[in-house]
Each structure stands twice: as C-alpha cells, then as structure tokens.
Amino acid sequence: VLGVKRAERMLARVEFHYTPKHASWLNMAEIEIGVMDRQ
C-alpha cells in the first residue's frame, strides 16, 4: 500500500497531454486494424 506522501510525489511527476481523437494517428491505425480484422 502506498503512503499518502509517496502517492502525492508520484502524482506530481505525471503530465497529462490532450490528444484529440480525430487527429490521432494511433486511433486511425487502430480503426484500420479493426476493419482488416473483421474482413
């Protein structure tokens, strides 16, 4: 179990980046793979 202080230090190092779904190349690749998988 993490202590509160250690959890706060870890969370302080995390950075969140907004990536719009319509512009994500990875999302496009996953859609293509899903289509090929169904064929």
Write out the two tokens for 8.
């706060």
The whole-angstrom separation of Cα 39 and Cα 33 is 10
Note the pLDDT of residue 6.
Answer: 92
Note the pLDDT of residue 12.
Answer: 93
Note the pLDDT of residue 23.
Answer: 66
Domain assignment of residue 10, given as a range: 4-37
pTM of the model: 0.37
Domain count, the chain: 1
Angle made by CA atoms 21, 29, 26, in degrees to the nearest 5: 45
